[in-house]
A and B are shown apart, each in its own frame.
Chain A
Amino acid sequence: MSFHTASIADLSKGLAAGTYSSVELTRYFLARIQRFNEGLNAFITVTEEQALAAAAAADAQRAAGQAGRLTGVPIAHKDIFCTAGVRTSCGSRMLDNFIAPYDATVVARMAAAGIVSLGKTNMDEFAMGSSNETSWYGPVRNPWDHAKVPGGSSGGSAAAVAGRLVPAATGTDTGGSIRQPAALVGISGIKPTYGRVSRYGMIAFASSLDQAGIMAPSAEDCAYLLGAMAGFDPRDSTSVDRPVPDYVAELGAPLAGLRIGVLTEFMGQGLEAETGARVREAIEVYRRLGATVVDVSCPRLPLSVPTYYVVAPAECSSNLSRFDGVRFGYRCEKPRDLLDLYQRSRAEGFGPEVQRRIMTGTYVLSAGYYDAYYLQAQKVRTLIAEDFKRAFAEVDLILCPTAPGPAFGIGAKVDDPVTMYLNDIYTIGANLAGLPAMSVPCGFDGGLPVGLQLIGPHFSEGRMLAAAHAYQRETDWHQRVPAAYA
């Protein structure tokens, strides 16, 4: 049986009907990982033993009549989430030896829902990157073309899902790290509202922007899993105490009457022609389905890249100070003294992109520069949020491309950080404003997938997933699997 093309809903039904067990499913996907991971480099750690034990426990739970909707469903976690007893590397040499002593809230909640984790996926180092090339564990390859990047930073999760090595995987999104890789590998990915999912146990990059989400072939799959991750956590002061709706139940909401705003700023210059064409075709699908499509403008949104590259490095420079070689993680050989211990542990433990961002962040927070950079960026951030607010007074959802073009070649942009940063131009705004946003596949550009982005007001995940689901009932882009993985 080809479980790998089944939806989460199908797997849930099959498990419930007793057609197959979680152990069978788990073995099946572990075998796919075994077969394909060497080519993709999507996993940093495969936890076969724990996975089979968790699957057996899930089956026992089901036998005892205590199974939930997701009991026994296998997934993978981005290696940014702490997992008790399992290496949590964050894609960095700095944490290559780090065995987390506790579970992140996301990991614990999904485990409590009976979800089985197969392992930890590759990622850009400390989630800093848009191509998965900054990982200490080497680049991840795009299943559609191994010479191309899968996007980043959740590139491992993206490639694993796109190659159907797992039915779904968690990701995190600070400036587009779920949506951009989802777009580049042709799957769906949702970054929820800031505060919707607990950040406890998720290794921080930029605390005010980081948000965990889910990556899976379809919006429906995402709806199934998001509910198991979301919700208030007393251990995260920035998580929001607000009930989690049943996203699956909301999937059926009709599209008729939905007002969709096409973001004019992101439909012109900088957008590759073929990618733009796919997005315009998707807009036509929405029109056909009865949505009202209008143009909206967020004039300050083009400022989001420079704003982001002040705020995110500033926070990262402070968040990554704890990696000092003293208590955990990498420590240099034979330090001469304390300063040497700090300097060499960090110089050897962090890769160049992480170091670049730490230095940028340190600079923008320094005395004499703080007002000109950090404070100014925070002001622009407020303006960008206001732009969105005004737009949402007119429309229910905003639509735009996820990335300016399809996946680029491994090595193509690695020496040009600014060009690399511009790949996130369409996704960063949602992070700066704390808005939920998702990417769904909407066709191909030169044989590589193209993503369509939806952005909604705070806590509109249900509406957004329903709109994506409606589109996916009309199209089959989300069901396309690269030939080698079919």
Chain B
Amino acid sequence: MTSETKWEVVIGLEIHAQLATHSKIFSGSATVFGADPNTQADLVDLGYPGVLPVLNADAVRMAVKFGLATGATVASRSVFARKNYFYPDLPKGYQISQYERPIVERGSLDIMLDDGTTKTIGITRAHLEEDAGKSLHEGLVGASGIDLNRAGTPLLEIVSEPDLRSAKEAIAYLKKVHSLVRYLEICDGNMQEGSFRCDANVSVRPFGAEKFGTRCEIKNVNSFRFVEKAINYEVARQIDLIESGGKVVQETRLYDSVKDETRSMRSKEEANDYRYFPDPDLLPVVIEPAFVAEVRATLPELPDEKAARFQSRYGLSAYDAGVLTASRELAGYYEATVSALPKAPDEAAARANAKLAANWVMGDLSAALNKENMDIASSPLKAPELAGLLTRIIDATISGKLAKDVFEGMWAGGGNADAVIDARGLRQITDVGAIEKAIAEVMAASPGQLAEYRAGKDKLFGYFVGQAMKATQGKANPAALNEILRKMLAGP
């Protein structure tokens, strides 16, 4: 038995999504990223004596949105609590969070597994809290700086059930949440700027065991790739440890992306006693059904709903629909492309067009964007322009093969599809006379091959196709060429 078949991996994720409010969760300061240190921190954020927090209603609205989108229970009454600990980037000496009574409980999200089946991942809770500031060490000799711009930024901490069974599943879930919060426009999802962060609780147990193994919490992972690598490293570490007679100790571990390893940060014994208690400065958050209904009415079409619609309306496969709906922007781009195509004569043609658009968006366009490290929103080729290119494939002005050249030309700034086609003289030849003329020239230049063909050597047909295409610089309509060539080779 190998290690992989003997051990079951159990993962739960804690995701911190920074809510896209204009101001902080308990003060009026702005939340823009990248401002000069301490320029976006007012007296409340600085924890000055006498100041009091006032809850930002937008943060509540966004949390409710997330709850509704994950089929969760939105608590009619939730409570802010203080999590007490000393740290220089925590001005009040406590973080205002939610503890016993979070705003969102018992939701779930479906993820798609490699074999095409879906798995439901439970969301234990999602609660509102404030972010801490940042300690700065660079460029300061013998001292640490503190930037409190981030202090008080609203976070939604989304805690999953330990339902994930591999790093791959964890990533699928993480991406699903990432996609969802962006669909809901409650978080910009920017992982480099720390707007979307993740801690992973990882343990292993023998297959069939009921009890979970001892878990370690991995902190400080700020990209999908690193989350996957950190989990895989941690799983291997725990299995090695147990198999060599050791014991996993409950602790917090830090992922080092340079060394690709996790290392111990603090053990359970060293962990803080946070002395949570309800924050007496804030009233319980009471959410009326009318408010929930109001928020529900603002929900956009969610990724799963959109994917289902893409399948039924455009006849796309589940896979294609999943890829195209991974982000609201990509789905929007795709739909804008399809809607800019000429009206199809029948349903079959419409589906063929939709599939053509899907292939181009997921294929050439995505490849080009990836190569330049761009996202769909900043694509130099907008949806109507891509549709212009596809229109010329559909109306047989160019072949699919030449279309790739045209795409490159457009990408390089050569203008719209027609401009590139004309500039490069790529317009497909469908004129029967012109094709006949080219074929006649080829026949005249190849008397030997012609005689052999007519004597029954059918496979020389390909030779003539090639020669005729060459003579038309590849522009002849392939179907028309084949038909005319067959007739002319047969002789009068």
- Nearest opposing residue in chain A for B148, CB measure: A327
* Residue A95, interface by CB 8 Å: yes
What chain B residues lie within 8 Å of A229 (beta carbons)? none
Measured in the bound complex, the distance between the Cα atoms of B275 and A321 in whole Å is: 12
Looking at the complex, which of B172-180, B276-284, B425-433 is the stretch in contact with chain A?
B276-284
Binary CB contact string for chain B from 233 to 255 against chain A (1 if under 8 A, 0 otherwise): 00000000000000000000000
The answer to whether B282 and A237 have CB atoms under 8 Å apart is yes
Query: Which residues of B sit under 8 angstroms from A208, Cβ to Cβ?
Result: 280
- Chain B residues 88-116 with CB under 8 Å of chain A are 88, 91-94
- Interface assignment of A203: CB less than 8 Å from any CB of chain B: yes
- Chain B residue numbers with a CB within 8 Å of A111 are none
Mostly, the B contact residues are loop
For A322, the chain B residues whose CB sits under 8 A away are 47-49, 91-93
| Minimal beta-carbon separation of B193 from chain A (angstroms) | 25
The interface residues of chain B lying within 8 Å CB-to-CB of A327 are 46-48, 91
Binds B, one of A10-18, A34-42, A194-202: A194-202
Q: Is the C-beta of B344 less than 8 angstroms from some C-beta in chain A?
A: no
Tell whether, in the assembled complex, residue A201 and residue B84 are in contact, meaning their CB atoms are under 8 Å apart: no
Q: Is B440 an interface residue (CB 8 A)?
A: no
Could you give, for residues 335-359 of chain A, a 1 whenever the CB lies within 8 Å of some chain B CB and a 0 otherwise?
A: 0001000100000000000000000
Residues of B within 8 A of A203 (CB): 49-50
List the B side residues contacting A207 at CB < 8 Å: 280-281
Does A362 contact B54, Cβ atoms closer than 8 Å? no
Q: Which residue of B lies closest to A195 (CB)?
A: B283
Interface residues of B in 12-53 (CB under 8 A from A): 43, 46-53
Chain B's nearest CB lies how many Å from the CB of A464?
Answer: 25
Answer whether residue A88 sits at the interface, using C-beta atoms and an 8 A cutoff.
Answer: yes
Which of chain A's residues have a CB closer than 8 A to the CB of B283?
237-238
For B47, B50, B84, B91, the residue with the greatest tally of chain A CB atoms inside 10 Å of its CB is B50
Q: Is the CB of B88 within 8 A of A200?
A: no
Which residues of A, 211-265, contact B by the 8 Å Cβ criterion? Answer: 234-238
Smallest CB gap from B88: residue in A: A326
Q: Which residues of B contact A365 (CB under 8 A)?
A: 84, 275-277
A125 at the interface (CB under 8 A from B): no
Which of A95, A238, A317 lies in contact with B49, CB distance below 8 A?
Answer: A95
Name A272-299 residues within 8 Å CB distance of B.
none
Whether B82 is near chain A, meaning CB under 8 Å from some CB there, is yes
Q: Is B55 an interface residue (CB 8 A)?
A: yes
B394 at interface (Cβ–Cβ under 8 A)?
no
Complex CA gap A370/B278 in Å reads 12
Instruction: Answer yes or no: A448 CB below 8 A from chain B CBs.
Output: no
Expressed in whole angstroms, the Cα–Cα distance for A207 and B280 within the complex equals: 6
Chain A proximity of B224: nearest CB distance (Å): 34
Q: A201 and B281: CB pair below 8 A?
A: no
Q: Are A342 and B52 in contact (CB under 8 A)?
A: no
The reply to whether A204 and B54 form a contact with Cβ atoms under 8 Å apart is no
Judge if A432 is at the interface, Cβ distance under 8 Å: no
Chain B proximity of A153: nearest CB distance (Å): 16
A321 touches B84 (CB 8 A): yes
- Asked if A100 meets B52 with Cβ closer than 8 Å, knowing A237-B282, A370-B277, the reply is no
CA distance A94 to B46 in the complex (A): 17
Tell whether, in the assembled complex, residue A318 and residue B84 are in contact, meaning their CB atoms are under 8 Å apart: yes
Q: With a CB–CB cut-off of 8 A, which chain A residues contact B53? A: 237
B86 interfacial contact with A, CB 8 Å: yes
> Cβ of A321 and Cβ of B94 under 8 Å apart?
yes
Could you tell me if A237 and B55 are in contact, using CB atoms closer than 8 angstroms? yes
Instruction: Check B52 against A318 for contact (C-beta < 8 Å).
Output: no
B318: CB under 8 A from chain A?
no
- In this assembly, does B146 line the interface, its C-beta being within 8 Å of a C-beta of chain A? yes
| Contact count A vs B, C-beta below 8 Å | 98
Q: Which residue of A lies closest to B272 (CB)?
A: A367
Interface residue? B273 (CB, 8 A) = yes
In the bound assembly, the distance between CA atoms of A361 and B161 in angstroms comes to 34
A93-117 toward B: CB 8 Å interface, digit per residue (1/0)? 0010010111010000000000000
Assign chain A's interface to a size class: 35 or more
Interface SS of chain A: helix, strand, loop or mixed? loop
Complex Cα–Cα for A365 and B281 (A): 17
Query: A104 and B50: CB pair below 8 A?
Result: yes
Question: Which B residues are CB-close (under 8 A) to A317?
Answer: 84, 275
Q: How far is the CA of A202 from the CA of B49 in the complex (A)?
A: 8
- A374 close to B (CB within 8 Å): yes
B282: chain A residues at CB < 8 Å are 237-238
Are A235 and B280 touching (Cβ within 8 A)? no
The size class of the interface chain B forms with chain A is 20 to 34
How distant is B251 from chain A, measured CB to nearest CB, in Å?
18
**Which residue of chain A has its CB nearest to the CB of B87?**
A338
B277 engages A328 (CB within 8 Å): no
Docked-complex contact B277 and A314, CB < 8 angstroms: yes
Residue numbers in A under 8 Å from B52 (CB-CB): 199-200, 235-238
Whether the pair B281, A238 counts as a contact (CB closer than 8 A) is yes
Residue from A98, A104, A204 with most neighbouring chain B CB atoms (10 Å) = A204
B55→A88 contact, CB < 8 A: no
CB pair A237 B54 closer than 8 Å: yes
CA distance A353 to B310 in the complex (A): 69
Contact of B50 among A200, A315, A318, A362 (CB under 8 A): A200
The distance in angstroms between the C-alpha atoms of A104 and B50, with both chains bound, is 8
A237–B84 alpha-carbon span in the complex (Å)? 21
Could you say which of A234, A235, A323, A326 contacts B146, with CB atoms under 8 Å apart? A326
Contacts of B91 in A (CB 8 A): 322, 326-327
> B54 and A234: CB pair below 8 A?
yes
User: Of all chain B residues, which has the CB nearest A233?
Assistant: B52
Nearest-CB residue, chain A, relative to B277 = A365
CB of A200 within 8 A of CB of B51, answer: yes
Tell whether, in the assembled complex, residue A82 and residue B94 are in contact, meaning their CB atoms are under 8 Å apart: no
Given A102-B43, A237-B54, A365-B277, does the pair A318, B82 have CB atoms closer than 8 Å?
A: yes
Find out whether the CB atom of B48 lies under 8 angstroms from the CB atom of A328.
Answer: yes
For residue A318, give the distance in angstroms from its CB to the closest CB of chain B: 5
Expressed in whole angstroms, the minimum distance between the Cβ of A158 and any Cβ of chain B is 22
A90 at the interface (CB under 8 A from B): yes
Distance A362 CA – B277 CA, assembled complex (angstroms): 11
B88: chain A residues at CB < 8 Å are 324, 326, 338
* CA gap between A374 and B84 in the complex, in Å: 15
- Choose one: A200, A318, A367; the contact of B273 (CB below 8 Å): A367
Known contacts A322-B93, A338-B88; A101 and B43 CB within 8 A of each other: yes
A-facing residues in B120-170 (Cβ within 8 Å): 146
Contact between chains at B281 and A318 (CB < 8 Å):
no
Bound-state Cα–Cα, A322 to B94, Å:
8
Q: Which of B49, B92, B146, B276 contacts A98 (CB 8 A)?
A: B49
Chain B min CB distance to A253 (Å): 32
Beta-carbon nearest neighbor of A95 in chain B = B49
Measured CB to CB, the closest approach of chain B to A349, in angstroms, equals 13
The answer to whether B275 touches A204, judged by C-beta atoms less than 8 angstroms apart, is no
B92 to chain A: which residues have CB within 8 Å? 321-322
One of A200, A237, A318, A370 near B94 (C-beta < 8 A): A318
A247–B55 alpha-carbon span in the complex (Å): 32
Q: Which residues in B have their C-beta under 8 angstroms from that of A102?
A: 43, 48
Asked if A201 and B54 make an inter-chain contact with CB atoms under 8 angstroms apart, the answer reads no
Residue of B nearest to A239 (CB): B52
**Smallest CB-CB separation from B47: which chain A residue?**
A322
Q: Tell which of B50, B84, B280 touches A202, judged by Cβ atoms closer than 8 Å.
A: B50
Residue among A101, A324, A328, A374 making CB contact with B86, cutoff 8 Å: A324
- B residues with a Cβ closer than 8 A to A are 43, 46-55, 82, 84, 86, 88, 91-94, 146, 273, 275-277, 280-283
Q: Which 4 A-B pairs have the closest CB atoms?
A: A321-B93, A208-B280, A365-B275, A207-B280
24 A-B Cβ contacts within 8 A? A88-B49, A88-B50, A90-B49, A100-B50, A101-B43, A201-B51, A203-B50, A208-B280, A234-B54, A235-B52, A237-B55, A238-B281, A318-B93, A320-B93, A321-B86, A321-B93, A322-B93, A324-B88, A327-B46, A327-B47, A342-B86, A362-B275, A365-B275, A365-B276
A238-B281, A322-B47 known; 18 new pairs, CB 8 Å cut-off, are A100-B49, A101-B43, A101-B48, A102-B43, A104-B50, A200-B51, A235-B54, A236-B52, A237-B53, A237-B55, A315-B280, A318-B94, A321-B84, A321-B92, A321-B93, A324-B88, A327-B47, A366-B275
